[in-house]
Chains A and B, each alone.
Chain A
Amino acid sequence: GAVVSQHPSRVICKSGTSVKIECRSLDFQATTMFWYRQFPKQSLMLMATSNEGSKATYEQGVEKDKFLINHASLTLSTLTVTSAHPEDSSFYICSARWLAGTDTQYFGPGTRLTVL
């Protein structure tokens, strides 16, 4: 149990385009999901906390208009990187909190974004 999927696993896009990443909890309901970004050889950096049915809470320094988060259901959250630029190239990872179960965060497999 406690499986989280992400789609796509890898995306390459041109500068200026927008990219949507989906995060799904497959076998549990997640009222809270988290979005992280990880640059090579660095630790995870939390970008935002996403709660079902409400606005996301962004960490300091993360532009909410650039990284749009929608958590429309208890099993799906999406991150849209708008007008992507090469510096947005990174490994984006979501996690979902299984509050009713183990009360632990489970991570998706990640999405590697490359902006040309």
Chain B
Amino acid sequence: QKEVEQNSGPLSVPEGAIASLNCTYSDRGSQSFFWYRQYSGKSPELIMSIYSNGDKEDGRFTAQLNKASQYVSLLIRDSQPSDSATYLCAGRNAGGTSYGKLTFGQGTILTVHP
């Protein structure tokens, strides 16, 4: 079982719709979670970080964390074609020897069609 799993894609939504990306993790020691966006041929770009249970909103993006269910999600409201990319979920263990190492999911490809 992978430590971080993302819902299998690809995910296709129409422009203006809400895109919902989901992620589960198995390591209960994971304390912090991150969503990165990666365009084809480019490196990952940080979108959101979330550390506490509940919702965190930043513009059109909302990250949700439920530590009891070991579940992280990212909602993108009013999806735009420019949001089409691979979205990577990552967890970070607070363990002292990990130096902040991230464990990534396999990524979900999102396509927003006009």
Binding site for B on A (CB under 8 A): 32, 34, 43-44, 46, 49, 51, 57, 93, 97, 99, 102-110
Contact = CB atoms under 8 A, between A and B. Distances in A.
Given A43-B105, A49-B99, A104 B43 contact: no
B104 A97 contact: no
A63 to B, nearest CB: 19
Consensus secondary structure, chain A interface: strand
Given A102-B49, A108-B43, A43 B34 contact: no
Contact of B45 (A46, A97, A102, A107): A107
Q: Determine the interface band of chain B, counting residues with CB < 8 A from chain A.
A: 10 to 19
A43 B45 contact: no
A19 to B, nearest CB: 18
Given A49-B99, A49-B101, A104 B46 contact: yes
Nearest to A57: B99
A99 B43 contact: no
Given A104-B34, A108-B43, 15 more contacts: A32-B99, A34-B101, A34-B102, A43-B106, A43-B107, A44-B88, A57-B99, A99-B100, A102-B49, A104-B49, A105-B34, A105-B102, A107-B43, A109-B42, A109-B43
